[in-house]
Chains A and B, each alone.
Chain A
Amino acid sequence: MSQLKLKSENIKVFYKDFQALYDVNMDIEENRVTALIGPSGCGKSTFLRTINRLNELIEGTRTEGQIYLDEQPIYEKDRDVVELRKKVGMVFQKPSVFPMSIYENVAYGPRIHGIKDRKRLSEIVERSLKAANLWNEISDRLNSPAARLSGGQQQRLVIARVLAVEPEVILMDEPASALDPISTSRLEDLIVELKKKYTIVIVTHNMQQAARISDYTGFFLNGQLVEFSSTDELFVNPRDKRTEDYITGRFG
């Protein structure tokens, strides 16, 4: 059993009159990959976005319950969202590079957090690109526009951009859904590598992917966390009938 990194306590999310999540309780361990699976609209992405308080960007969203990061509650009036999001990075479904150079994309985060020294920025950029397994492919064209990279490279650039902020937790919302099979397998290798240093929570549509890369898996259905256990157990010995039906492909 490794250290507890995140703990969600009775998380409920409402969008206007609609309740998207019902009392989600989950313990997420440090340096592990936790996968969230379930059919579309089951609330898995909504739950992911409660961890960095990103749901707040959508008008009319209300969150109840509490999430603890290193035992500190994140839903507190005086909790600094900037500081939270610095610790909890996020990779989105569609790789979205900023219309800037490769270098500037990675340096964006450190810059907004006040790092101005050019030498230090260059070091961070190099380290982050190396950690995202992208350095070797693009080290000779750091100043070319990031938009010219392939989809798989863009997604790794986005990961490098997240790593440059030195987060502790990385949230990934279906990061491979827009990628071809080869890029996907490279991304999966990268995720397994990243968990040595980071805690990873990943939403995925792809059950094989969850089985391949995660240590824990949570199955969501209709806004509820139906089952949460170690990945081996959930896929081999599901306790709940609905989990079994889903992983055997009876619906979803």
Chain B
Amino acid sequence: MLTNNTGDKFIKVFFWLSGLIIVAILFIIIAYIIVKGISAISLDFIFEAPRRAGKEGGIWTTIVSTVYLTVVSLIIAVPVGVGSAIHLEEYAPRRSWFATLVNLTAETLAGIPSIVFGLFGFVFFVIFLQMGWSIISGSLTMALMILPTITRTAQEAILAVPAEYRENSLALGASKWQTISRVVLPSAVPGIITGIILAIGRAVGETAALILTAGSSLGMPEGLLDPARTMSVHLYILAMEGISMDRAFGTAFLIIVLIVVINYLANLSLRRMSYVNRQI
């Protein structure tokens, strides 16, 4: 009994330590970035355009580029992702060859490394379609990368909507599309938003694929065909080319802030939407 007890205690301590390590890692990384980055942060650093390859000035254009590129990627990927999820869960017969194919494809896409997407985007969008290094090339490539995440999470969210809702709605004389658009999708919105948050995280953090497709120009992108440098790419170049470690940390700090802000806004809209959901 004694040995059992000791074993039990040991295991307990091990699990507790594992939890502690997770917390510690996150805390240390964030603390380190704050400590190293905070000195670089100022209003000028946020709102001024970079000068001398980022050695001076701020990072404003990269913040704008990040948001621009992320938003365009979502505008492309969300309708397609949610649309294919609706097809798979609501229209495709179970185990049809097309549904199996789409599922398999989504899974495979999710496992492909981002640099491979980048290479494809470079060859296809940038060169073959002559879009050049641009917001649109980057966004299309990004859209391909986040599509599986959005499809998968939307599928799960739609699957989780109780079958009774559909039955009740159809029995009231609603058409299939009325049922999907007015009952199923509103109920699935929180799950779909979770997928979108994950996708945003991936888009904001991407570097390699974007260097290949959106370029690394520090100018302010004024249209879809302009090249752009996102914050993560900027951070990579600042650190890699030894331009300024302080500024790299400052950028890292702002990336974290941006992610927190985006998550907060997404949560807010999620709560708002489930509120609307209850009201309408």
Contact = CB atoms under 8 A, between A and B. Distances in A.
B43 interface: no
Contacts of A158: 168
Contact of A162 (B172, B186, B187, B279): B172
A85 B178 CA distance: 14
B172 A112 contact: yes
Interface in B80-99: 93-94
Nearest to B170: A57
Interface in B264-280: 277-280
**Interface SS, B side:** helix
Which range holds the interface residue count of chain A? Answer: 20 to 34
Given A101-B278, A108-B182, A161 B170 contact: no
A52 B171 contact: yes
Contacts of B164: 92, 94, 96
A170 to B, nearest CB: 11
A214 B152 CA distance: 49
Interface string A73-110: 00000000011111001101010101111001000110
Contacts of B186: 99-100
Contact of A100 (B166, B178, B277): B277
A165 interface: yes
A149 interface: no
Given A92-B168, A99-B186, A161-B172, A112 B178 contact: yes
B103 interface: no
A100 B173 contact: no
Given A89-B172, A162-B172, A112 B167 contact: no
A161 B168 CA distance: 10
Contacts of A109: 172-174
Given A54-B167, A94-B164, A82 B183 contact: no
A104 B280 CA distance: 6
Nearest to A96: B164
A143 B279 contact: yes
Interface string A128-160: 000000000000000101000000000000100
Given A59-B93, A112-B178, A145-B278, A98 B168 contact: yes
B244 interface: no
A197 interface: no
A99 B172 contact: no
A185 B162 CA distance: 28
Contact of A101 (B166, B167, B174, B279): B279
B279 A104 contact: yes
Contacts of B93: 59
Given A54-B167, A104-B280, A108-B182, A96 B162 contact: yes
Contacts of A99: 186-187, 277-278
A86 B94 contact: no
Interface in B158-188: 162, 164-175, 178, 182-183, 186-187
Contacts of A212: none
A82 B175 contact: yes
A96 to B, nearest CB: 4
A110 B79 CA distance: 29
Nearest to B162: A96
Nearest to B278: A145
A113 interface: yes
Contact of B173 (A57, A85, A98, A104): A85
B183 to A, nearest CB: 6
A85 B170 contact: yes
A11 B149 CA distance: 47
A112 B169 CA distance: 10
Contact of B165 (A98, A113, A162): A98
A161 B183 CA distance: 14
Contacts of B171: 52, 54, 85, 89-90, 92
Nearest to A105: B168
Interface string A112-136: 1100000000000000000000000
B172 A100 contact: no
A214 to B, nearest CB: 22
A104 B119 CA distance: 50
22 contacts: A57-B167, A59-B94, A83-B173, A85-B173, A90-B171, A92-B164, A92-B167, A96-B167, A96-B168, A98-B169, A99-B186, A99-B278, A101-B278, A101-B279, A101-B280, A108-B174, A108-B182, A109-B173, A112-B178, A143-B279, A161-B168, A162-B172
Given A54-B167, A92-B171, A158-B168, 7 more contacts: A92-B167, A96-B165, A96-B167, A98-B165, A100-B277, A109-B172, A161-B172
Interface of A: 52, 54, 57, 59, 82-86, 89-90, 92, 94, 96, 98-101, 104, 108-109, 112-113, 143, 145, 158, 161-162, 165
The 3 closest A-B pairs by CB, nearest first: A96-B164, A85-B173, A86-B173
